[in-house]
Structure 1
Amino acid sequence: MLIVLAVLLGVLLVLAGWLAVRVAQAAGALRDLQAAADGARPEVDALDVTALSARLPAAQDAAHRAADAADDPVWRAATHLPFVGDDLAAVGAVARAADALTRDAAPDLLAAAQALTGPAPSPTTTPRGWVDLTALADAAPAVSRAAAVLDGLRDDLDRHDPADLVGPVAGPVTTLRDALSGDALRSVQDLADVLPALLGADGPRTYLLLSLNPAELRAQGGIVGAVAVLQVRDGAVGLVGQRSTADLPERPASVLPLTEAEHALHGDRLGRWVQDTVLSPDFPRAAQLAAAFWTASTGQPVDGVLATDPVVVADVLAATGRTVTADGREIGGDALLAALLRDAYLGYGDPRSGDAFYAQVAAAAFGVLADALADPAAARSVLPAVADAVAERRVLAWSAVPAEQARLAASPLGGAFLSGDAPTPTGDVGGAVGVFLDDATAGKLGYDLDVAVGVTLSGCDEDVPVATVTVRLDFRPPGDVTTYPAQVLGDGSSALPPGWLATNVSFYGARDGSVGGVLRDGAAVGGPAAREARRPVVGLTSRLAPGAGEEYVLTVPAPGGALTVWSTPTLAGPGVTSASCAG
C-alpha cells in the first residue's frame, strides 16, 4: 500500500510540476502578447496598417503559445480542481480568445482598414465630384467576419465571472469582456451585412440628406435648414440636387397620419412643415415624415434619409485641414459654425438668401469631402471625427427597405428612441430616459444657448438606485442682440421681449416607466403630461432673458444601477450621456 501511495504521490508531483511548467509558458506568452499590444497603441491610433501588419506575426505567435499551453490535457483536468480551477479555466479562455483574435479577427480587420485608408487599387470611374465609397463596401465582409469571431469570444468569456477569480486573472478577463462588448459588435456586424446594399450594390439608390441647424433647436438637433439629394451608384455617392426649405412650402395637411400622442405633443407641425419633421425624438419617424413630405412636394420617391449637423462638417474639415469657399469667402473650423448659424442671418436681409448661403456651404463641403477621401492620409484623419460624431448622435440614417431599417434601428445610426432597442452604454434604449429641446421663439438665438445634460446616481447599495438628471440652460447672447433682425430674434409668437429665448423642454421616462417631479432652480414645476410609445412625457417651457440661465432636475429610478440619457445634440453638447454605480 505504501508503495502504491508513493507511486501516486510521485505521479501527482510530476503532474503538478508539468502543470506549473504549462502555466509558466502561458504566463510568459501572455506577457509577450501584452507587450506587443501595448506597443501597438500608437499605431492603432494612427491607423498605421503597415506597421500593425508587421507586428501581427509576433502577436500571433505569442497568442498561439499561450493557447497551446492552456490546451494541455493536464491543464484541462486541473480546471475542475477546487480553489484554482476557475482561475485556470479563465486563463485558458483568455488564451483561446487571444489566439482567435490574432489568428482569425485581426487579419480581417487589418484588411478592412487597408481598404478604407489605403490608396485606390486601380483607376476609378467615379464621376467627378462624387465620393467614392467602394472601399467601405469592400471592407464590409471582412468587418462582418471579424465581428462574428469577436462575438463568439465574448460568449465564451461571459461564462467566467470576474468576481470568482483572483485579481491577476480577474483583471484581464474583465478587460477582454469590456472590449468585446456584445451589443456593439452585433451592431457592427448588422451594419456590415447591409452596407453593400445601402451603397448601391443591388442598384442605384436615392437618399435625402437633412442639414440640421442647431441655432433653432429641434429634438434631433436642429431645424431642417436645407435638403440635399444624394444618389448612390456602385459604391459612389453624388450630390445631385438641393432645396432650401423656402423651396418646400408647408403642406395643407399632414403628409402622414399622426398619432394621438403626436397631435397632443406637437399639433400637426410634424407633418406640414419639413423643418418640423425632426420634432419627433424618434429618427425613423422623423425620416418617414421627411421622405413623405419630399414625395408629396416633388413627386420623387426616396430610398432613405440621412441627417447631420454643421458641427460634424466643421470637425471633418478641421481633421483634414481643409476649408470651404462660399460667397467668395474661405471658411473652416469654428468660423464655419459662425458663418452658417449667425452671419448668414445677419448678413442677408432676406431669410431665403441666408438659406441659400447655408445650402451653398453644404454643397461646397461635400466637394471638399470628396477630395479629402481620395487622399489616404486625409481619409485616416476623417475616421475618428466621424466615429465621434456617430457616438454623439450627430449622424443618423433610415432606410425605406424594412430589412435594412431593422438593422439600422438597432445600431448607433438609427436614432430609434421610441421605436427601437438599440444598445446604450448602460443597457438598451428602452431603459433610457430622454431630454429633448425645441426652440419656441422661431428665430436663430439657439446659437447663443449653452446646454449641459448630466446624470448622477445615488443609493447604489439599495435595491433600486436613484438617478438625478440635470439640464442646465445658459443663454449668453451679445450685448446688441436686441438689434438683430427678426429672422434671428423670432417672429414674436412667443410673446417675449426682443432678445429673449423660449425653449420647450420635454422629459421622457423609460419605456413603461415613470417621470417624477421636475424641479426648476430648486422649485417644483409642472407642465402638460402625455404618453408616447409607452413612455411618459412631461413638457415645460424655459423663458430666458439675455444673460440668464436655468437648471432643471429630474429624479428617476435606475434599475441595475445604471442609466443612459438621450438628449438633443447641441453646438457644444453630445446627444447621449450615461452613469453607472460601477463607475
Structure 2
Amino acid sequence: MSGVGVSETEQPRRRGRRSRRRARARARRALLAGLVVGSLALLSAGWVGFRGWQARTHLLNAATLAQQLSSEVVGADTERAQRTLSALQVQAGAARDATDDLGWRAGQHTPFAGDDLTAVRQIAVAIDDLAREAFPTLLRTDLSTLLPGKGRLDVPRLKAVAAELTATDQVVQRTHARLAAVPTDALVAPVRDAVAELRKQLDQLATLTRAADGAARLLPPLLGAAGPRSYLMVSQNPAELRATGGMFGAYAVIEAKDGQLRMGIQGTSAQLGLFDPPLKLKPEIRNLYTDLPGMYPADVNLTPHFPTAAALFRQMYRERTGDTVDGVLAVDPVVLSYLLKVTGPVPVPGHTTLVGDKAVRTLLSDAYQRMDAVEQDEFFAASATAAFDTFFTREVDPRAYLSVLDRAITERRVLFWSAHPEEQRVIEGNRLAGSLPEKEDVPTVGVFLNDGSGAKLGYYLRPAATLTVGGCRPDGRRELRLRFTLHSTAPKRGLSTSVLGLGLAGDPYTARTLVSVHSPAGGAVLRTRLDGTEVPVGSGTERRRQVVVANVEVRPGATRTLEVDVLTGRTGSATGDADLWLTPTATPWTTHIDPAPHCD
C-alpha cells in the first residue's frame, strides 16, 4: 500500500488521542449542560427568593390588616372594617399568587428548602381562603339576630343566618385541617413559628365558628320553632360551693314558643325535698359521692360532669311536679354581674337595685347577712324576674352582649344540657355542655370544690392553682405537679347564722372544702400532700380519670396548700402542653401553667 504508513506502535497512540478528544468533548458537553442547568437552578433560586420576598411582604401586610380588622369588628366600625377587608383580600391574593408559579412549585420538590416553601404556600392559601370565603360572611352577619328583641327571637332570620354560618364554618374547618396536616419538624424556625402562630389563631377561629354554627342551628328548635319547649333555669350559688360552680338553689321554668320566651313558675331546690330511696346513680358516682346526688337536689352537682347533674335535677323536678322539661340551663351571679355591665342597673321592686360591680356581693353576701330565709327566697325570685325581663327586652349592643356571654361560657359559668339526644350531641365538646371528656388532646387536670361546712363561706374563699409539666417518659406519659392553695378572707366574727350554716368543720368560721383532683383522661394520681405532709384521701374513678378527694379546712385569714402529682395518659402529652378545669368561684382563680418542651 502506497502513502504514509502507520506502524503498529503508532496505532494505539492515535486511538488514545481520539479517545481523549472524545472524552474532552463529552466533558465539555457535560460542563456546558451543567452550566446551563446550574444557571437555571440559580435563576430559579433567585426567582423563588424574589417571589418569597414578595410573599413575605404580602403576608406581613395581611397579618397587620387582619389585626386591624379584628379591632374594627370588635369596635363595631363596620364601614372601616369593610375597607380593611378589601385591602386584606388584595394582600392575601397577592401572597397566594406569589407562591403559585412554576419556579415556586419546582422549589417545593428540592431536598432542603422544599418543606419550607410548601409550608409558606399553605399559609398563603389559608389566609386567602379565609379572606375571601369566611371573613365576608362573618362581617356581614347581623349579630342582633342571635339576641331576643322584646322577649322574642326572629326565627326566620335566625334560620337564614344559620345557613351562612354553616358555610363559613365549613371553610374555616377545612382550612384548619389542611394547616394542621403541614409537617413542621424540619422547617426553619421563622416558618415553623409562623405555622404555629397561624394554627393557634385558627384554633380559636374554628372554635368560634363551630360554636356560632351550632348555636344558629340549635336555637330555632330550642326556642320552640317546631313546638313549645320548657327548661329549668337554675341559679348556682358559689357561696356554697359545688363542683360545677355552686349549689343549685333557686330555679325558674322558662317557656319558649315560636321564639317567644316567658318566665313561668319559680321555686327552690329545698322545696323539692329529700328523695328516699335515692335516684339511681352509676356505681362510680356513688363510690365517690355516696348517695347524696340522688337524694338532695342541692347535691346533684357534687360531680363536675354537668349532664349527670342536669339529668338528675330534671328527674327530681318531674317526680315532684309531674312536669317534664326539655333541658336545664345553669347560671351564677357572676354571669349576672357581667350582663349588668351591658344592660345597666336593674331595679328590683321592693328591694335594692342590682348594679354590675356590686351584684355578686349583693346576692352572695349582703342577702345572707341582712335577710332571713323567707326574705332571701323572695329577693332571689324578684331579682330573677327583673333580670330576665331586662335582658330580653332592653336594647343593648349585640357585640357587647355576646362578648360577655362568651366570657361567661369560657369560664364555665353558663352550662346547658338538652334532654333531646340529637341536640345534646351538637352541644357536646363545647364548654357550654360542661361535659367532662373521656378523651382529650391536651392533658387536663380537674380541680373541683365541694363545700363540706354546710355554710355560705364560699364567697370568702380565694383559690389558686399552678400546674407544672414534667419531662418525657419512655412510656409516652408525663408527670404533672399541681400546687393548689386556698385562702380564706372570712372575718373571725360578725357573720350571720345564714352564712355560718351548720358549721360542720367544728369552728363555724372555718371553711371545710372537699377538693376533688381529677387526673387527665387515662391517667392516674400518684401522690397527695397537704401543707407538705402526706394525708389520707378518698379515691375513685370518674369518666376514665382517677380521682382523689382531700378535706381542706381553712380558718379566717389562713392559707392551705395541697400538692398532687398526677400522671397523664399516653395521648396528647408529647407536646408538653397541659390545661386546668376548675370550679367557677365567686372570685376568679389565680392560675399558672408551666409547659415543657416537646418530646422528640
Letter in 2 for 1:361: S
CA distance in 1, matches of 2:438, 2:321: 30
- Against the structure 1 CA distance between its residues 108 and 174, is the aligned structure 2 distance closer, same or farther, given a 3 Å change threshold? same
Equivalent position of 1:217 in the other structure: 241
Structure-to-structure mapping, 1:433-448, within 5 angstroms: 433-448=445-460
CA distance in 2, matches of 1:449, 1:26: 53
Equivalent position of 2:327 in the other structure: 304
Conserved? CA contact 1:500–1:544, under 8 Å? yes
CA distance in 2, matches of 1:473, 1:226: 27
Structure 1 residue corresponding to 2:489, chosen from 467, 471, 476: 476
Letter in 1 for 2:549: G
Conserved? CA contact 2:462–2:486, under 8 Å? yes
Equivalent position of 1:511 in the other structure: 521
CA distance in 1, matches of 2:183, 2:462: 43
* Matched residues, number: 561
Conserved? CA contact 1:216–1:444, under 8 Å? yes
Structure-to-structure mapping, 1:170-181, within 5 angstroms: 170-181=192-203
Residue 555, structure 1, aligned to residue 578, structure 2: no
Structure-to-structure mapping, 1:181-580, within 5 angstroms: 181=203, 184=207, 187-188=210-211, 189-254=213-278, 256-349=279-372, 351-372=373-394, 374-375=395-396, 378-417=397-436, 421=439, 427=441, 431-459=443-471, 464-481=477-494, 484-485=496-497, 487-492=498-503, 494=504, 496-558=506-568, 559-560=573-574, 561-573=576-588, 578-580=593-595
1:213 Cα deviation (Å)?
Answer: 0.4
CA distance in 1, matches of 2:589, 2:400: 21
- Against the structure 1 CA distance between its residues 133 and 570, is the aligned structure 2 distance closer, same or farther, given a 3 Å change threshold? farther
1:402 Cα deviation (Å)?
Answer: 0.9
- Against the structure 1 CA distance between its residues 432 and 11, is the aligned structure 2 distance closer, same or farther, given a 3 Å change threshold? closer
Conserved? CA contact 1:392–1:574, under 8 Å? no
1:571 Cα deviation (Å)?
Answer: 1.0
1:15 Cα deviation (Å)?
Answer: 4.1
- Against the structure 1 CA distance between its residues 308 and 380, is the aligned structure 2 distance closer, same or farther, given a 3 Å change threshold? same
**Residues 17-56 of structure 1 deviation map (CA, whole Å, 9 limit, x = unaligned):** 5444433442332233233224334213324333222221
Equivalent position of 2:11 in the other structure: none
The structure with the largest alpha-carbon Rg is 2
CA distance in 2, matches of 1:152, 1:379: 28
1:146 Cα deviation (Å)?
Answer: 1.9
Conserved? CA contact 2:146–2:153, under 8 Å? no
Residue 153, structure 1, aligned to residue 166, structure 2: no
Equivalent position of 2:24 in the other structure: none
Secondary structure (helix, strand or coil) at the match of 2:526 reads coil
- Against the structure 1 CA distance between its residues 495 and 69, is the aligned structure 2 distance closer, same or farther, given a 3 Å change threshold? closer
- Against the structure 1 CA distance between its residues 138 and 274, is the aligned structure 2 distance closer, same or farther, given a 3 Å change threshold? farther
Secondary structure (helix, strand or coil) at the match of 2:588 reads coil
Letter in 2 for 1:537: V
CA distance in 1, matches of 2:433, 2:481: 26
CA distance in 1, matches of 2:482, 2:124: 42
Letter in 1 for 2:432: L
- Against the structure 1 CA distance between its residues 542 and 31, is the aligned structure 2 distance closer, same or farther, given a 3 Å change threshold? closer
Secondary structure (helix, strand or coil) at the match of 1:517 reads strand
Secondary structure (helix, strand or coil) at the match of 1:325 reads coil
CA-atom RMSD, angstroms? 2.9
Letter in 2 for 1:340: L
Structure 2 residue corresponding to 1:30, chosen from 42, 56, 59: 59
1:450 Cα deviation (Å)?
Answer: 1.5
User: Which segment is superposed worse, 562-571 or 85-94?
Assistant: 562-571
1:324 Cα deviation (Å)?
Answer: 3.8
CA distance in 2, matches of 1:582, 1:245: 48
CA distance in 2, matches of 1:77, 1:297: 73
CA distance in 1, matches of 2:466, 2:96: 44
In structure 1, list runs of 5 or more residues that go unmatched: none
Identity of aligned residues (%): 35
- TM score, norm. by length of structure 2: 0.86
1:62 Cα deviation (Å)?
Answer: 1.4
Conserved? CA contact 1:322–1:332, under 8 Å? yes
Letter in 1 for 2:341: A
Conserved? CA contact 2:528–2:564, under 8 Å? yes
1:216 Cα deviation (Å)?
Answer: 0.4
